[in-house]
Amino acid sequence: MAATETKTQNTPRAFFSLFRDWRLLLYNFAILLLSPYLIAVKLSRGWQTKSANKFVKNRCISPLYGEKANPGAIHLLFIGTGSGEKQAADKLIPALKKIYPHLHATFAAKDQPTVDAILASAPEASVTFFPFDFWLWVAPWYKKLNPDVVISLRKLWLPNIIWGAKLWGASVCVIGAPSRTFKPTRNQLWAGINRWTLRGYDAIGFISAEEKENHRPLFSPGADVRVTGPTRFLQPQPATPPSTQLAQWIKKNNSTNIPIFIAGSLHLNEIEFILDAYDIVRDIVPCKLLIAPRRLAHIQEITDALRKRHLTYLLRSASTSKTSAPDADVLVLDTMGELSCAYSFACAAYVGGTLSGVGHNIYEPLEWCIPVYFGSGNGKIHASQKTAAEADVGFRVKSSQELSEHWIKILKNPQYRKALETRCITFIANQQEAFEKNLQLLVDVIEHKHP
């Protein structure tokens, strides 16, 4: 039976379906009471990144770009915060389409830059924004998208989206589920809320056995809970980066073909940390630095720091300007969606958000068989950091001096550099299992919905 035929039977389609679940009604009432504070927080974050207007508007109305699902298609709705989750979906979707030819996938992102980057690389893509987790925005969102299966990538706590999917007649699952910085059972009230939230999932794939054990008190008997590994799937990349323009830009501005180090997803508090290390390295061995900030709104602060050190730089978005120089010391990647390809030009990478904060994807550099370095903070990616460190392809550094020593060793010791590359190849092969386990979970959920 077609997906839409299944859902039109016995499935409420009005805002008032909220009243079918008193816990969901109570949860939304609590959000309504807290709304002045929550709105202030969201606006504050938006203003910090100079995107408050678009951020709030798009997460309220959730415009849809690209084609809607055909009536007979199985419609999968992937929910992820940014480009890392989109890359995971892009690897899963082709494998799923081999099994289900009549499949339509929509990706729901959190911010405008991610959506812009997706549409720039694939104008035909079906993409939208996922709304604030409040029924007033979630109900019309589901009515517009009409999904069969909702797949959350790494985000675990979305009560309205989870239970909204159930009320809508869709299956819902999560893969790559991490633990939070708080204990999910820290008190009875909190444990009750989290237990109710998690029981809305048809299946949960945790990133590690440790994460699964942390949440064990919240599972209902017989729940489909698995350890599927990370969604930052490691797969061998093509020999040539997919972005020809990026390759030409880097080649043009590295005419002497000297080694490049990359600092990706860099936070403001890490700029001086990286520049201190780079200054030490370049005084010993010629090299370039490519910086990709986490927030494009921080470009001004980065260029100010470069000028203070008398470092010449070149912006990706404007290769010639009064404040830029050809064949510069530092290349600044002030664009979205190109970082994962840029790693292919480097001999090593530092991934930002790891001095403090949540941390970011350390697997992207490893896919290009280059070692990855990260700061002393664990954040939300402790499991991947630990796995990479145990394989001796990821390295935690506590100071700029320590980072510079690693990079100098790479430049001055070709045998060591080759050994790192070999270990990266082995690491990728060992991580293939995560892709298969996450794919199998999705297949099982789809099969349960469409046997």
For 292-349, the pLDDT digits (tens) are 998 888 899 999 999 999 999 999 987 544 444 567 999 999 987 788 889 999 999 9
Residue type, 149: V
Give, as one character, the DSSP assignment of residue 236: P
Q: What is the pLDDT of residues 231-270, one digit of tens each?
A: 877 666 554 455 778 888 888 888 889 999 999 999 999 9
Other CB atoms within a 10 A radius of the CB of residue 254 amount to 17
Q: How far is CA 227 from CA 109, 231, 241, 370, in A?
A: 25, 12, 32, 27
**Reported pTM:** 0.76
Is 231 in contact with 154 (CB distance < 8 Å)? yes
Q: What is the pLDDT of residues 104-134, one digit of tens each?
A: 999 999 888 888 888 887 888 999 999 999 9
Is domain 244-432 given the CATH code 3.40.50.300 in the classification?
Answer: no
CATH number of 3-231: 3.40.50.11720
Q: Choose among 366, 352, 360, 351: nearest CA to 432.
A: 366
Strand partners, 108: 79, 128
Q: What is the mean pLDDT of the chain?
A: 85
CA angle 65, 66, 72 (to 5 degrees): 125
Give, as one character, the DSSP assignment of residue 259: -
Per-residue buried b or exposed e for 353-381, using 16+ beta carbons within 10 Å of the residue's own CB: bbbebebbbbbbbbbbbbbbbbbebbbbb
Residue limits of CATH 3.40.50.11720 in the chain:
3-231
Give the whole-angstrom CA distance, residue 213 versus residue 194: 15
CA angle 330, 263, 123 (to 5 degrees): 95
Is 124 in contact with 113 (CB distance < 8 Å)? no
Strand partners, 218: none
Indicate the SS3 state at residue 156. coil
Choose between 147 and 72: higher pLDDT.
Answer: 147
Q: What is the pLDDT of residues 146-158, one digit of tens each?
A: 999 999 998 888 9
287: pLDDT strictly greater than 90: yes
CA-CA-CA-CA torsion sign (294, 295, 301, 304): positive
Strand partners, 154: none
Residue limits of CATH 3.40.50.2000 in the chain:
244-432
8: pLDDT strictly greater than 50: no
Helix (H) or strand (E) holding 56: helix 52-61
Is 404 in contact with 281 (CB distance < 8 Å)? yes
Which of 107-116, 156-165, 195-204 is predicted with the least confidence, judged by mean pLDDT?
107-116
Average pLDDT, integer, range 160-187: 82
